[in-house]
Amino acid sequence: MELCVALDRPSLDENLELVNIIKAHDLWLKIGFRSYIRDGKRIIDELKNINPSFKIFLDLKLYDIPNTMADASEEIADLGIDMFNVHASAGQRAMTTVMERLKKRENRPLVLGVTALTSFDNREFIDVYGSPIPKKGIQFAKDSFESGLDGVVSSVFESNSIKENTSSSFLTLTPGIRPFGESSDDQKRVGNIYVARNQRVDFIVVGRPIYNSEDPKGSVEKILTELSTSESKSCEI
């Protein structure tokens, strides 16, 4: 299981300040709407300057007509990032078109489908999608798998079921992680590291519990230590 730190600070300088504090670790870093709309490609270049081994997840959740999504995916691949995502609710034709375009490239980024945003509770999700999260979320995961994506973004509670309905190697990335039970903020479906391990999650995304903590470096190290202990525990089983 890998740690992906969400860079959602209010300015480029504050994001870079955070990254400089944690740069000793070859982490995954998540650039979302806020940072990318404000800073564009510059933030990617600055992060790679700080540590070329950082892996970058560009969390822009594409949703548009198939051709526009595929065009945007090619532009994203040209940025040299390592992973990005699209909304699975954009449909199988859109996702397949994206993958057809990207597979012509030698080093394409990983592509994930967003199933259900972790800020939705079941009632809100039904209002938008007409079915409950456990049912529709799995359907979105199956659609992503059949369209050739590498994995999905889901809540921590759906990861096992997604793997059982697709493949154990189909990646799951889960935001809404409060590693040691910190405040859930605006997230509705949050879980800790132990839940994530039991759910065979591949990437945990952690934002506020790290950057709002008094000691972000200490927080990252505590999480990494727990993850490596978890890995060795699961190897022993």
Q: How many residues does the chain have?
A: 237
Site string for ligand C5P, 91-120 (x = CB under 6 A): -----------------------x--xx--
Q: Could you say whether residue 162 binds ligand C5P (CB under 6 A)?
A: no
The residue (of 8 and 226) whose beta carbon lies closer to ligand C5P is 8
Compute the distance between CA of residue 44 and CA of residue 39 in angstroms, rounded to an integer. 9
Using N-to-C axis directions, what is the helix angle for 41-50 and 12-22, rounded to 10°? 20
* Size of residue set near ligand C5P by CB under 6 A: 16
The residue (of 142 and 178) whose beta carbon lies closer to ligand C5P is 178
Compute the distance between CA of residue 4 and CA of residue 47 in angstroms, rounded to an integer. 14
Is residue 6 within 8 A of residue 207, CB to CB? The reply is yes
| CA atoms lying within 13 Å on the CB side of residue 167 | 11
Q: Could you say whether residue 151 binds ligand C5P (CB under 6 A)?
A: no
Is residue 18 within 8 A of residue 43, CB to CB? The reply is no
The residue (of 66 and 175) whose beta carbon lies closer to ligand C5P is 175
Per CB under 6 A, contacts with ligand C5P among 35-74 are: 59
Active site residues: 61
Residues that bind ligand C5P (CB under 6 A): 6, 8, 32, 59, 114, 117-118, 153, 175-176, 185, 187, 205-208
